Structure 1
Amino acid sequence: MQIKSRIRTIAHYPHEGIMFRDITTLLKDPVGLRATIQEIASRYKSMKIDKVAGIESRGFIIGAPVAYELGVGFVPVRKKGKLPAETRGRDYQLEYGSDRIEIHVDAIQKGDRVLLVDDLIATGGTAEAAAGLIHEMGGEVVECSFVIDLPDIGGRARLEDQGLKVFALCEFEGN
């Protein structure tokens, strides 16, 4: 199935010169959504995965059903202040300023093999922070899995430079 053809591109959103890759068209398509989840999950069926961690918010949409397919738990990686229990967090840099992601302190156990999932990799900053947080908590990131890679922005290379494995279902050139 051609996943890429089911993703809408919106020119100049949210800013002039940006080509926004919108997965809502993929999500509303039952065949496309099922194929996306099954293709990602099938890649990891033979690997030992203990948890799937999904990055807020579209990483939840993809990650939770992947965790279900793999028969493992799901861990939400959220923005600061969104989780109700005690958390552990990590700051990361944005183009203008910084942000913070958090995970519940009891979500990742020492030795857990974690699949990190999000919809798209651009700069890689959020995924790098999430992977670092998982490592700090004693987990091992087996791979970072994305629906879309924007290779010209350099996120994949950034993660690979950190020793992380990266997989994406499709790529879009440009920004």
Structure 2
Amino acid sequence: MTSDLLRQFQWVGGHADLWPVFRDGDTFREVIKALVEPFRAAGVTAVCGIESRGFLLGGAAATELGVGFVAVRKGTGMFPGEKLSRETAPDYRGFRHTLRIQRASLAPGDRLLLVDDWIETGSQALAVKELLQEAGAELAGCAVVVDQLRADVRPAIGRLHALVDKEELPED
């Protein structure tokens, strides 16, 4: 599976492009299975994903696990009902984001798996973890396609599963 994923990956103008993974049905299916495999017996009650690639990966992962999906929106777009929100620490570009979850989508005791394409600073994952805790839920772990997380942040995130490390990616 890793070789198929790496074959689909490309750099475009210095930016990582994982979109071809979504276009190849076989690779996409294998990526989803590999992301959720370590969490099948973790008591996950829902999967959450951060806008936008996290919506695609997270929705597919939720389907694979047979659980629901909880959207984590960025910014101020339409999102009805009461929301919980957190501002992230600066990301790899120095930007802060406001992340929001619909309060009604979480229940005390929920165990959520956060699925995303890439983790670098961990700022978004930590903000999601705080949002879940505020609602009485917990983060069962994070599953990402590419891991670039610094070692000093890793303990705060908790259980992290990645399909490839950034150093395994082809050169830009």
Once residues 7 and 172 of structure 1 are traced to their aligned partners in structure 2, the CA distance between those partners, rounded to angstroms, is 11
Q: Which runs of 5+ in 2 are unaligned?
A: none
Once residues 143 and 36 of structure 2 are traced to their aligned partners in structure 1, the CA distance between those partners, rounded to angstroms, is 10
- What TM-score does the superposition give when structure 2 sets the normalisation length? 0.87
Once residues 122 and 157 of structure 2 are traced to their aligned partners in structure 1, the CA distance between those partners, rounded to angstroms, is 13
Structure in which a larger fraction of residues adopt strand: 1
Q: Using the TM superposition, give the Cα deviation of residue 55 of structure 1 relative to its aligned residue in structure 2, in angstroms.
A: 0.9
Aligned to 2:82: 86
Once residues 129 and 75 of structure 1 are traced to their aligned partners in structure 2, the CA distance between those partners, rounded to angstroms, is 15
Q: Which runs of 5+ in 1 are unaligned?
A: 13-19
Instruction: State the one-letter code of the partner of 2:161.
Output: F
Cα gap change, 1:63 to 1:97, in 2 (>3 Å): closer
Instruction: State the one-letter code of the partner of 1:171.
Output: D
- In the alignment, is the contact (CA less than 8 A) between 2:38 and 2:161 conserved in 1? no
Once residues 29 and 140 of structure 2 are traced to their aligned partners in structure 1, the CA distance between those partners, rounded to angstroms, is 23
Instruction: State the one-letter code of the partner of 2:19.
Output: T
Cα gap change, 1:69 to 1:96, in 2 (>3 Å): closer
Tell me the SS of whatever aligns to 2:88. strand
- Provide Cα deviations, 1:22-75, integer angstroms capped at 9, x if missing partner: 111111111110110111233222221101010111001100011011111100
Aligned to 1:24: 19
Identity of aligned residues (%): 32
Decide which of 9, 12, 15 is 1:10's aligned counterpart: 12
- Provide Cα deviations, 1:131-167, integer angstroms capped at 9, x if missing partner: 111111111111111011124xx2x641x23151111
Decide which of 84, 102, 125 is 1:104's aligned counterpart: 102
Aligned length in residues: 164
Aligned to 1:140: 138
Once residues 69 and 97 of structure 1 are traced to their aligned partners in structure 2, the CA distance between those partners, rounded to angstroms, is 32
Tell me the SS of whatever aligns to 2:97. strand
Aligned to 1:15: none
Once residues 61 and 72 of structure 2 are traced to their aligned partners in structure 1, the CA distance between those partners, rounded to angstroms, is 15
- In the alignment, is the contact (CA less than 8 A) between 2:125 and 2:157 conserved in 1? no
Once residues 77 and 49 of structure 1 are traced to their aligned partners in structure 2, the CA distance between those partners, rounded to angstroms, is 17
| Structure 2 residue 165 is the aligned partner of structure 1 residue 167 | no
- What TM-score does the superposition give when structure 1 sets the normalisation length? 0.85
Instruction: State the one-letter code of the partner of 1:148.
Output: V
Q: Using the TM superposition, give the Cα deviation of residue 97 of structure 1 relative to its aligned residue in structure 2, in angstroms.
A: 5.0
State the superposition RMSD in angstroms. 1.9
Q: Using the TM superposition, give the Cα deviation of residue 127 of structure 1 relative to its aligned residue in structure 2, in angstroms.
A: 1.2
What stretches of structure 1 move > 4 A for 4+ residues in a row?
Answer: none
Once residues 71 and 51 of structure 2 are traced to their aligned partners in structure 1, the CA distance between those partners, rounded to angstroms, is 7
